[in-house]
Amino acid sequence: MQGDILEIEKYVRNIFVESPQGTDQKRKKLLKNFWENHTKEVIDLSLELAKKYGADREVVHLGALFHDFSLAYDREPHDEVSSHLAYEYLIVNWFNQTVAEKVRDIILKHRCKKFIPETLEEKIVSTADAIAHFIPAFYKGAAEVAREDYAEMIRENIEKLEDEYERKVFFEDEKKILKKYMKEFKENYYYKTK
């Protein structure tokens, strides 16, 4: 099954990297950055957490892979649209219905807004998504493409990051790790540029 997931990963990657939104170069670069410095990070972190907490790796991998899928098509609300697209994709590709439903629910709940994670696998992808937002490469890449100041971008996002820390991290260990990241973020980019 792992081999199949790697094929699906290629499929999703191509959609982000080849951008279905036409020829807008800036948007293409942003989507490529999004894939490389966000989705891939969420996949890696989710798999690490799945190992650590003994979760279903297949379901977690697929959930992380598709969690922001509809952003490649610029379609919101991306939790709802992505969960629908992923479910359809998995059913069409002969995945077991229970697996498809679990993946659908991970994606639907990853923002912890309208829907809140309940299962271990749902909590893992939500947590990994929050942690990935603290990875500097994501903002550096986006700032480069948008020709914006990286520190300024972080400063604008610090409230969002704090909010994610409060709502989306379900494990004590990861809360501790993120607390450290957040402190560094603030010291480096918030207080200095305020």
Write down the least CB distance from residue 144 to Fe ion, Å: 19
DSSP per-residue codes, 83-122: HHHHHHHHHHTT--HHHHHHHHHHHHHTTSSSS---SHHH
Residue 94 class from Cβ within 10 Å (0-12 exposed, 13-18 middle, 19+ buried)?
A: exposed
> In terms of Cα–Cα distance, which of 133, 124, 134, 125 is closest to 180?
134
Summarize as ranges the residues that interact with Fe ion (CB under 5 A). Answer: 68, 129
Q: Which is nearer to Fe ion, 77 or 192 (CB)?
A: 77
Q: Which is nearer to Fe ion, 38 or 155 (CB)?
A: 38
Q: Enter the DSSP assignment of 77.
A: S
Write down the least CB distance from residue 78 to Fe ion, Å: 6
Q: Which is nearer to Fe ion, 58 or 164 (CB)?
A: 164
Q: Which is nearer to Fe ion, 68 or 174 (CB)?
A: 68
Write down the least CB distance from residue 169 to Fe ion, Å: 14
Write down the least CB distance from residue 23 to Fe ion, Å: 25
